[in-house]
Chain A
Amino acid sequence: GENVEQHPSTLSVQEGDSAVIKCTYSDSASNYFPWYKQELGKRPQLIIDIRSNVGEKKDQRIAVTLNKTAKHFSLHITETQPEDSAVYFCAALGGGADGLTFGKGTHLIIQP
Chain B
Amino acid sequence: DTAVSQTPKYLVTQMGNDKSIKCEQNLGHDTMYWYKQDSKKFLKIMFSYNNKELIINETVPNRFSPKSPDKAHLNLHINSLELGDSAVYFCASSQLDRVYGYTFGSGTRLTVV
Contact = CB atoms under 8 A, between A and B. Distances in A.
Interface string B83-113: 0000000100000100101111111000000
A49 B100 CA distance: 8
Interface residues of A, number: 25
B104 A44 contact: yes
B55 interface: yes
B99 A98 contact: no
Nearest to B105: A43
B55 A100 contact: no
B90 A44 contact: yes
B27 interface: no
Given A97-B31, A98-B48, A45 B104 contact: yes
A111 interface: no
Contacts of B41: 38, 87, 104-105, 107
Given A97-B53, A98-B48, A44 B96 contact: no
Interface of B: 31, 33, 35, 40-45, 48-50, 52-53, 55, 90, 96, 99, 101-107
